[in-house]
Each structure stands twice: as C-alpha cells, then as structure tokens.
Amino acid sequence: MSDADFDDREFHPRGTVLIVTLFVLLLIVLWGSVYVILLARGTTL
C-alpha cells in the first residue's frame, strides 16, 4: 500500500491495539510482581 491508496476512513488502529495489549500484559506482570513482594514481606499490623 502506498500513500495514494491510503484511505483515511478505512483506517483502524489495529497495530495500536496490539501494542496497548502488550502494555497491559506487561503492566499486570510487573505491578503484580511488586504486589507479590509486598505480600511476601509480611503484615505491619
């Protein structure tokens, strides 16, 4: 596809969806791992 056949109305950000999906997975893994460290270090009560 070249610039000439690029159709604005047919544009759907599918690649963006892929990237943000990967972002969410990374977020869950990294955030989750710190949350697990919190749980492992014991309560403060």
Partner 1 sequence: MLATYELTTGQKRFIWHHLLVAMVALAIGTLFGPLQAFEHSGLDLYKYLDPVIKSYYQGLTLHGVLNALIWTTFFITGFITLTTIKGLNRPLSHPKLNQTGFWMMVVGLLTAAVPILLDQATVLYTFYPPLQASWAFYVGLTLVVVGSWVEGWGFYLTFYQWRKENPGVRSPFITFAGLVTMVLWQFATLGVAVEILTMLLPAALGLIEGTDPELARTYFWFTGHPLVYFWLLPAYISWYGMLPKQAGGKLFSDSLARLAFWLFLLLSVPVGFHHQFVDPGIPQTWKAIHAILTFGVFFPSMMTAFTVIASLEYAGRKRGGTGLVGWIRALPWNDPSVASQLLAGILFIFGGIGGLTNASYEVNAVIHNTTWVPGHFHLTVASAVTLSFMGISYWLVPHLKGKKLYSAKLGVIQAWTWFIGMLIFSNAMHVLGLLGAPRRTPLGEALYVPAEWEGHLLRVAIGGAILFVSAILYFWNIYKTVRNPETAEVEVPIAESREDPQNTPAWLDSWKPWLIATVLLIIVGYGPQLYFMIRDISLTSPGLRLW
Partner 2 sequence: MSEKLHIDKYEKNWMLISITILIVFAVAVLVAGFALGFQLPGVSDRVDPRTVSQAGPFADPGLREVSPGHYEAYIVARAWSFVPREIEVPVGSTVTFYITSTDVQHGFKLQNTNVNVMVVPGQVSTLSHTFDDSGSYDFVCTEYCGSGHAAMFGTLTVVP
Q: Which residues bind partner 2 (CB under 8 A)?
A: 12-14, 16-17, 20, 24, 27-28, 31, 35, 38-39, 41-45
Q: Show Cβ contacts of residue 11 under 8 Å, excluding neighbours closer than 6 positions.
A: none
Query: Binding residue for partner 1 (CB under 8 A) from 15, 25, 42, 45?
Result: 15
Positions in 26-45 near partner 1 (CB under 8 A): 26-27, 30-31, 34-35, 37-38, 41, 44
Q: Nearest distance from residue 3's CB to partner 2, in Å? A: 22
The rounded distance, in Å, linking the Cα atoms of 33 and 27 is 10
The rounded distance, in Å, linking the Cα atoms of 22 and 26 is 6
